[in-house]
Amino acid sequence: MVTRTRIKICGLKTAAAVSVCKEAGADAVGFVFYAPSPRYVEPAHAQQLCQALGPWQTPVALFVNPAPEQVHAVLACMPNALLQFHGDESPRFCASFARPYLKAIRMQAGTDLHEQARQYASAQGLLVDSWSEAYGGSGQAFDWLLLPKPGSLPLALILSGGLHPENLQEAISNCQPYGVDVSSGVESSKGVKCETKIRAFCRAVQQADAAL
């Protein structure tokens, strides 16, 4: 039984933002290795940013349909990273790096998360996000009624898409996810993290947990 909602802040590019995530209580921080994204970072820069992490914080490396060589290059800089695949990667591909990974699922009517959990049984969890033609998330919430009954999936469920401090209590109460993931919801402009919003987001998760 989940007793605390884990927090992941994604798309970090500066040491200051990483430090705020540590101070605010984020469990994981995500680095984007998808060149079209405004949040893209080079592996060597991400390696430097990881130095600002706390000892029990998890770095997450986000990819979209990468070549195997790209994943290996990132792992050479971040050997303890949790991988996150946000494209059309097959279960075999995701598992081929012998590293823990999350598989992102873009939700729409008819998406069967139980089937996705069966296909990606080797994953640490499924990260559910709103449907978008583009990869990497849209920053918009999806209909949470598309999700199965809390606790019914065999994999951890990480909720993403359009989350912000004002809707976190409803999201956590209704969906009871293992964790929540945010990127644009804690930004002052696209790709630019806001320290005040990061703190507010983490505080809202903690308050939502306390209210359950």
Residue 65, by phi and psi: left (phi above 0), alpha (psi -120 to 50) or beta? Answer: left
21 is catalytic: no
Instruction: Choose the catalytic residue: 10, 21, 50, 94.
Output: 10
Q: Report residue 62: phi and psi, to 5°.
A: -95, 130
Instruction: Choose the catalytic residue: 27, 50, 77, 129.
Output: 129
CA 182 to chain centre: 7
pLDDT in tens, 149-185: 999 999 999 999 999 999 999 999 999 999 999 999 9
* Pairing status of strand 179-182 against strand 6-10: parallel
pLDDT at 131: 77
The CATH number of the domain where 37 resides is what?
3.20.20.70
Q: Taking Cα atoms as reference points, which of 32, 39, 21, 20 lies closest to residue 191? A: 39
Q: Which helix (H) or strand (E) holds 23?
A: helix 15-24
Amino acid at 61: A
Number of domains in the chain: 1
pLDDT at 132: 73
pLDDT in tens, 85-113: 999 999 999 999 999 999 999 998 889 99
50 is catalytic: no
Residues of the domain holding 154: 6-211
CB 84 within 8 A of CB 63: yes
pLDDT at 3: 78
Amino acid at 154: P
> What percentage of the chain has pLDDT greater than the value 70?
96
Assess if residue 36 is contained within a domain.
Answer: yes
Assess if residue 1 is contained within a domain.
Answer: no
